[in-house]
Chains A and B, each alone.
Chain A
Amino acid sequence: MGNPVQSFTGGDFELAGNSERAQMDHTYTSQSYGRDAFLRFKANKGAVFGLVIIIIISFFAAFGPMMNEHTYKSINIKHKSLPPRIEGLENFFIFNGVANGVNAYEQKGLTDVYYIFGTDTLGRDLWTRTWEGTRISLYIAVIAVAVDMIIGMCYGLVSGYFGRSVDNVMQRFIEILSGIPNLVIVTLLIVVLKPGFVTVTLALMITGWIGMSRVARAQILKLKEQEFVLASRTLGAGHFRIIFKDILPNIFGQIIIMSMFSVPSAIFTEAFLAFIGLGIPQPMASLGSLISESFKSMTIYPYMIVAPVFVLALLMLSFNLLADGLRDALDPKMKES
């Protein structure tokens, strides 16, 4: 066939890389699961970045509203609709107080007035309101995630694991609950109860967990007939142990990701409620309600929507990165890759 007298020189060879294909057997020093997870988390730059941003935002949410003399509801109608301006940064293009080519500060004769994020159409300080809103949005997000995880996960796991009539009954209930548009249930609840924190949170809880329960159920359906479950059962493990000790750690990644997605959806549901007048009561603010409020004049005062949208997007990004990091850290299977 080929030329039999082909000869090779040293330069014809190169070391086959094993970085992509081959599997290395790592030797781990024995350490606790928690410490192991922590180390893996720390190595993930994105996750650490996300955590840091969340801490920074939480800091501002806690203390930002106290950083100037304005409160979230103090109205100064003479200072309405001012664009951002920061003392010392007047020449910096976005903080010079100029919008649409007009310096609203000079126009109103307010030479020594500064608003970092500007003011809204009632002359309220957007800095204070943005952080106040962040605080409320975080509160909503935390509750939503907590409720999603606890109720949704348990419901989905139990339903999927037991199957048959248990699954049937539980899924019918979900079908009925989710077959009614959320909006109808939520509106009704809010209209019947007094609008406020508790009502909005309750409204989000009523249907928020359904998505999570679906993911948990789908996952358990996939896993429950696998060998390790069979093994565990053969060894005499009870249902509780199989569900929460054997299966749960395997699907934790999905659950965490789903939780992180329920953060924006909870915040948006609240914003939507605010949009139709049923959200957090005015003059209180949430990021969502700030966005829908400033949306109404977005083509005229675009700067009003910038701060809340930016904080919201940053918060979402951080939650996502954090979720990824947690997933890698907590999921034992990910050790290999």
Chain B
Amino acid sequence: MKKVKIAIALFSVLLLLAGCTSAKQGSGTTPASTESPSAPTASAAPEESPAAAKVLNLGKDVELASMDSAIATDGLSFEVIAATTEGLYTIDENRVPQLALAEKVDLSEDGLRYTFTLRDAKWSNGTPVTAKDFEFAWKRLVNPETASEYSFIAGVAGLKNADAIIAGEKSFDELGVKAVDDKTLTVELECPIPFFNSVIAFPSFFPVNEAFLKEKGTEYALTPEALLANGPFKLKTWEVGGTTFYLEKNNDYYDAGSVKLDGLNYKIIKDTQQSVLAYENGDIDYVALSGEQIASYQQSPEYHSVLTGFLWYLSPNQKVPGLENINLRKAISLAYDKTAVVDEILKDGSIVADFVVPQFLATGPDGKDYRETAGSYPSNNKEEALKYWEKAKAELGIDAIELELLFEDTESATLVSQFIQSEIETALPGVTFTLKSQPKKNRVELMYNGEYEVGLTRWGPDYNDPMTYLAMWTTDNPNNFGKWSEKAYDELADRVSRGDLASKPEERWEALKQLEAKVLEQAVIFPVYQKGNAILIKPEVTGVNLGSIGGSISYKLADKQ
């Protein structure tokens, strides 16, 4: 008898399910920019005036990891932090740093002391943004208690004592930044840094209000209520682990007049095919494309591609027998067709990289892009590669070599690695590659420990200067995975970053070109491509600054008809 009851219950639930389905169908199809009843952080929904509101719906493929500017490490977090907070500078679409919260800046004769004067600006709780907020935020960045993964950037900016503080030799209080009064901030540097303005436009240098942070304690930046904004938008809803979060226009922003949107509605959709369907459906106005999706949209007027500063390259481990041989390295570096990689596999606007320093990364003292005046290097030449391989065989006394190619398990890395493997094996008879795919964190760990043979890896710029790349191949740099080392290179690199050349822009620029030439002549790395991002944006959306190298996407001036 019991079974009968259970069976009846099962079937009635089933009927109920079917019933609800048809009844509720209509309401479910409306684009859902919503709050969850269970989420503690949800407050008023963005659809208070759905018809009138100009809300941009954005599809993203990762969760919002952190809203704390000292803790965040990923692109989306930085994008949202930059939408809600402003620092001393912002980077405009021509990659030029523009004053933002700073109204005026003075630089001392020796280039070691900056004095910023702040404009009148308010936090979203009404308190003014002061120089103390900057001093607090910067010291918090290097404070070991914060344990920021991005604290190294204080050293990159050349802030006085930053490196010593991070190494644990000095107290974080000794960082070279000081609020003279509410409006004046002085910054002291270890040495002149030519790209200082662009580094401090980075979100890690955004201000944080000390009183507010202390009040919220460990809750800080974990809920919309525990966050302050001084930028064009403020976080309104953010479900813990939810698939949506919503930013609304911040009326306390000093330049609120030029913000035309009422809000930004982010939706997290991890599957690209599904997000493209959602885009086609009109649920979202912006979507990033990947893989084969790109080919079918390339002709569309809604298609855009943005070149990023990420360089993907192969790193040969010099400690692996065989790879210490320059002719073998050169043979491999010339043996694969990069044009096919960008045109046939990636198709996302990535460009062939025969270089180390990416295009549009840095502008020289002559006002031209680094790549315009730097040398050009051979790309893909299979006959030449074969000659080098013959030479290498003679020198090493071998007929064949088997190497392992380490890469991360993303779709594009997997395809590119397989293609490169096939290209090299065809071009250089006797060279065989086995493929080793690992999750990204493990891939980095293996390379960091030198437990790899050839690795497909990438590097993104921290600031708009060639040294963000070229510093990597100095002997002691932890990111010199391949352990290539040359004394002359180290010395020149040191002069460029901290030595006599730091204050001579033209000579420094030439030295940078020499460094790059060295890396390529020695085949220290085998560049593959400079990454582009393919996206779709609805035609009625205008004014989005799609971001450029060193600056993230900005919606401040965006509009939707």
Contact present between A and B (CB < 8 A): yes
* A residues apposed to B, CB below 8 Å: 73-75, 77, 80-81, 121-122, 191, 194-195, 276-278, 281-283, 296-301
User: CB-nearest residue of chain A relative to B295?
Assistant: A300
Flag if B409 contacts A277 (CB, 8 Å): yes
A100 → chain B, closest Cβ, in Å? 8
User: Which A residues are in CB contact (< 8 Å) with B345?
Assistant: 77, 121-122
Choice from A73, A282, A300 contacting B414 with Cβ under 8 Å: A282
User: Which A residues are in CB contact (< 8 Å) with B418?
Assistant: 73, 75, 122, 282-283
Nearest 8 CB-CB pairings of A with B: A277-B409, A297-B292, A75-B422, A77-B340, A77-B344, A300-B292, A283-B418, A299-B273
Choice from A75, A277, A283, A299 contacting B439 with Cβ under 8 Å: A277
B533 at interface (Cβ–Cβ under 8 A)? no
A203 → chain B, closest Cβ, in Å? 15
Flag if A296 contacts B292 (CB, 8 Å): yes
A229 → chain B, closest Cβ, in Å? 27
A286 → chain B, closest Cβ, in Å? 14
Choice from A81, A299, A301 contacting B276 with Cβ under 8 Å: A299
Flag if B419 contacts A122 (CB, 8 Å): yes
User: CB-nearest residue of chain B relative to A190?
Assistant: B438
A-B residue pairs in contact (CB < 8 Å), sample of 22:
A74-B422, A77-B340, A77-B345, A122-B422, A195-B436, A195-B437, A277-B408, A277-B409, A281-B434, A281-B436, A281-B437, A282-B414, A282-B437, A283-B421, A296-B273, A296-B291, A297-B291, A297-B292, A297-B293, A299-B276, A299-B277, A300-B293
B110 at interface (Cβ–Cβ under 8 A)? no
User: CB-nearest residue of chain B relative to A300?
Assistant: B292
User: Which B residues are in CB contact (< 8 Å) with A299?
Assistant: 273, 276-277
- 4 additional contacts, CB 8 Å, given A281-B436, A300-B295? A74-B422, A296-B273, A297-B293, A298-B273
User: Which B residues are in CB contact (< 8 Å) with A121?
Assistant: 291-292, 345, 415
Give the B interface residue count (CB, 8 A). Answer: 31
User: CB-nearest residue of chain B relative to A191?
Assistant: B442
Flag if A281 contacts B409 (CB, 8 Å): no
Flag if A301 contacts B437 (CB, 8 Å): no
User: Which A residues are in CB contact (< 8 Å) with B434?
Assistant: 281
User: Which B residues are in CB contact (< 8 Å) with A298?
Assistant: 273
B492 at interface (Cβ–Cβ under 8 A)? no
With A191-B442, A300-B295 known as contacts, the answer to whether A282 contacts B422 (CB < 8 A) is no
A122–B409 Cα gap in the complex (Å)? 17
B296 at interface (Cβ–Cβ under 8 A)? yes
Flag if A296 contacts B411 (CB, 8 Å): yes
A298–B296 Cα gap in the complex (Å)? 13
A67 → chain B, closest Cβ, in Å? 21
Flag if A282 contacts B435 (CB, 8 Å): yes
Flag if A277 contacts B438 (CB, 8 Å): yes
A73–B422 Cα gap in the complex (Å)? 7
Contact pattern, B 339-364, Cβ under 8 Å of A = 1, otherwise 0? 01000110000000000000000000
A274 → chain B, closest Cβ, in Å? 10
A80–B434 Cα gap in the complex (Å)? 22
B417 at interface (Cβ–Cβ under 8 A)? yes
User: Which B residues are in CB contact (< 8 Å) with A75?
Assistant: 418-419, 422-423
B137 → chain A, closest Cβ, in Å? 38
Flag if B435 contacts A281 (CB, 8 Å): yes
A300–B438 Cα gap in the complex (Å)? 27
Per the 8 Å Cβ criterion, residues 409-460 of B in contact with A are 409, 411, 414-415, 417-419, 421-423, 434-439, 442
A146 → chain B, closest Cβ, in Å? 28
A301–B293 Cα gap in the complex (Å)? 10
User: Which B residues are in CB contact (< 8 Å) with A277?
Assistant: 408-409, 414, 437-439
A324 → chain B, closest Cβ, in Å? 26
A271 → chain B, closest Cβ, in Å? 14
Most buried by A among B291, B292, B344, B423: B292
Contact pattern, B 147-158, Cβ under 8 Å of A = 1, otherwise 0? 000000000000
A124 → chain B, closest Cβ, in Å? 9
User: CB-nearest residue of chain B relative to A120?
Assistant: B415
User: Which A residues are in CB contact (< 8 Å) with B295?
Assistant: 81, 300
User: Which B residues are in CB contact (< 8 Å) with A77?
Assistant: 337, 340, 344-345, 419
User: CB-nearest residue of chain A relative to B422?
Assistant: A75
User: CB-nearest residue of chain A relative to B297?
Assistant: A300
A65 → chain B, closest Cβ, in Å? 16
A218 → chain B, closest Cβ, in Å? 18
A121–B408 Cα gap in the complex (Å)? 19
A298–B273 Cα gap in the complex (Å)? 8
B435 → chain A, closest Cβ, in Å? 5
User: Which B residues are in CB contact (< 8 Å) with A195?
Assistant: 436-437
User: Which A residues are in CB contact (< 8 Å) with B423?
Assistant: 75
A30–B438 Cα gap in the complex (Å)? 61
User: Which A residues are in CB contact (< 8 Å) with B414?
Assistant: 277, 282
A77–B416 Cα gap in the complex (Å)? 11
User: CB-nearest residue of chain B relative to A73?
Assistant: B422
User: CB-nearest residue of chain A relative to B339?
Assistant: A77
A195–B443 Cα gap in the complex (Å)? 13
A81–B276 Cα gap in the complex (Å)? 20
A191–B287 Cα gap in the complex (Å)? 33
User: Which A residues are in CB contact (< 8 Å) with B277?
Assistant: 299
With A121-B415, A122-B345, A296-B273 known as contacts, the answer to whether A301 contacts B438 (CB < 8 A) is no
A195–B408 Cα gap in the complex (Å)? 13
A63–B86 Cα gap in the complex (Å)? 65
